[in-house]
Amino acid sequence: MQLTGAEIIIECLLEQSVDTVFGYPGGAILNVYDALYRYSDKIKHVLTSHEQGASHAADGYARATGKVGVCLATSGPGATNLVTGIATACMDSVPVVAITCNVGTALLGKDSFQEVDIAGIVMPVTKHSYIVKDVTQLADTIRKAFTIAKSGRPGPVLVDVPKDVTAAKCEYIRHTITAVEPKVDTIRPEDVETAAQMIARAQKPFIFVGGGAVIADASKEVRALAHKIQAPVCDSLMGKGAFSGEDEFYTGPVGMHGTKTSNYAMCECDLLITLGARFSDRVTGDTKTFAPKAKILQIDVDAAEINKNIVVDASVIGDLREVLKLLLEKIPEKKHEEWAAHIQDMKEKYPLNYDHSQLTGPYVIQKLYELTGGDAIISTDVGQHQMWAAQYFKFKEPRTFLTSGGLGTMGYGLGAAIGAKMGCPDKTVVNIAGDGCFRMNMNEIATAVRCGRPLVQIILNNHVLGMVRQWQTLFYDHRYSQTILNDGVDFVKVSEAMGAKAIRVTKMEEVEPALKVALSSEGPVVLDCWIDQDLSVYPMVPAGASLDEVFDEEDVKK
């Protein structure tokens, strides 16, 4: 049948079982929005307050559901406003397809109104980017974009379509889309055998779980491995939920704000089994002293990650779940009772701790965990609140912690929470932000209200840029340059003005009642929780230091 380019875009989205898109219209993309109007019974469009909110919402939708997230934007500034969200998705391996529309092909390259080479701009932060100048190539390009986004190591793809191409007509034949199969052709039996032998010989095995375990849906296999060889387990921000935070073998996060137990175990283990993690600098600290006593086994779908940041002793390249299935068949059940007892002793000796005499971020997060029973999707922005959420909320399932780990994008969380709620309407969704982050995209509260679904926004409001201030306290001799937010912004009034219910919390005894109201509400609720400006995140490893140099608040006092 003959369809316009705009109609072909929508039909291709339906081919891919897309039910929700996030975006903001404009002149160049009007044909697509006109087509979307006629397909509104099949695809729900969420109008965000800013294009960056649309890219973060598509990202959050993808992380929470495991599907490809889709965002739309017009040419010029509409397209460039997506870039931060696209880069965020790229750093954290999130499958997103961004569709932008550009000026007509005759106007390209002439500095036309709202013209920008968005395909070129995003090239470093996408798996692939396209500009489609021929309507007959449009359907196949969009199909390729989805395949690339979700295959192997996932990531974002951008498709840019000039306006005249969206108006042109050509023959369209609907395709049946086949599922993308796990990457197994790179799994070498000899590599699996080597890995099994290393695990069998280890006396102090330690498992490090990264975001690849979430992406591969390998949580069942990760748990089976840990229990079969009695190995403690730590995780990165991206890996949270792939191994339950309530499990007896869990030692907490590792790295700059990891637990003392995880950091010390990393320094003492004789085998580090790394599952879908890329050895970020925030995890490793000083790479020269990282896991100094251990043989390192890395399992990852992306061959480029092997020996990139840390030189390993052995590796298996391929889909993590499929590799673990093969390993579990080969390795014998092992008990490491002395090692397990030592880990348990450290967990008892070095528990996470905070000031219980005043309202703090950890107190709010622990109350949230208690009231939800851990059954919630938590998104965060970036900073102290992000680290407290990772430390004090015990994530039991994958795809329940949405955060910008690689890029560290302030303003990410609220858009991501909206995307998660649209993708998982029956789940409790909570975004935790600092006041500095909330300011960046708080206009998306209006989007949350417009969506008409329950959503909780917690602001841990210390009236400063908390994490930057913490560094200024510890490493810059208390020179608080441009980190004090001493203006008159009232988040309760701002939120109410956008149509949300808002509650200010200033005392510990107000936290539980406010959370109960928020969690039982039928619409968005904002909790503005005022905490002290000098609260810090501990434990901490100074940037570039060895993990065994980890210190906590008691160490600072000493």
Mean pLDDT of 3-29: 98
The single-letter DSSP state of residue 124 is: G
With cut-offs at 50, 70 and 90, classify the pLDDT of residue 542.
very high
Q: How far is CA 509 from CA 367, 394, 529, in A?
A: 11, 22, 12
Q: Domains (ranges, CATH) in the chain?
A: 2-171 (3.40.50.970), 189-349 (3.40.50.1220), 361-538 (3.40.50.970)
Task: Read off the pLDDT band of 216 (50, 70, 90).
Answer: very high
DSSP code at position 332: P
Instruction: Indicate whether 397 pLDDT > 90.
Output: yes
- pLDDT score for 465: 97
* Helix (H/G/I), strand (E/B), else coil: 491: helix
Q: Give 159's contacts (C-beta < 8 A, 6+ positions apart).
A: 97, 98, 99, 100, 129, 130, 132, 141, 142, 145
Q: Is the pLDDT of residue 557 over 90?
A: no
Omega of the bond prior to 156 within 30 degrees of 0, cis? no
- Which contiguous run of DSSP H or E holds residue 503? strand 501-505
Helix-strand-coil split of the chain, %, nearest 5: 45, 20, 40
Return the pLDDT at 558: 82
How close are the terminal C-alpha atoms of the chain, in Å? 76
Active site residues: 51, 113-114, 163, 467
- C-alpha 353/C-alpha 516 separation (Å) is 25
Mean pLDDT of the chain: 97
Instruction: Give the pLDDT band (50/70/90) at residue 556.
Output: confident
43-72 mean pLDDT = 98
CA dist., res. 550 & res. 542, Å (int): 8
pLDDT for 56 equals 98
- Residue 33's pLDDT band, with cuts at 50, 70 and 90, is very high
Cβ-Cβ contacts under 8 Å for 427 (sequence gap 6 or more): 64, 375, 376, 377, 420, 421
Q: What are phi and psi of 408, to 5 degrees?
A: 65, 55
Confidence of residue 486 (pLDDT cuts 50, 70, 90): confident
pLDDT confidence tier of residue 368, bands split at 50, 70 and 90: very high
What mean pLDDT comes out for the span 328-352?
97
Is 90 exceeded by the pLDDT of residue 114?
A: yes
Q: How many residues does the chain have?
A: 558
Q: Return the pLDDT at 191.
A: 98
Tokens 């600290």 -> residue: 285
Largest CA distance in the chain: 76
Q: In the structure encoding, which two tokens stand for residue 369, read together?
A: 């965990």
Which amino acid appears at position 253 of this protein?
Answer: P
The Cα 146–Cα 151 span in angstroms is 8
Percent above pLDDT 70 for the chain = 100
Q: Which amino acid is at 260?
A: K
Q: What is the pLDDT of residue 351?
A: 97
List the structure tokens of 135: 């309507």
The Cα–Cα gap between 443 and 305 comes to 37
pLDDT category at 214 given cuts 50, 70, 90 is very high
Which pLDDT does position 94 carry in this prediction? 98
> Mean pLDDT over residues 112-133, rounded?
98
- In this prediction, residues 44-58 reach a mean pLDDT of 98
* 527: pLDDT strictly greater than 90: yes
CA atoms within 13 A on the CB side of 172: 21
Using the 8-state DSSP alphabet, how is residue 271 labeled?
Answer: E
pLDDT at 472: 96
- At position 365, the amino acid (one-letter code) is I
State the pLDDT at residue 521. 97
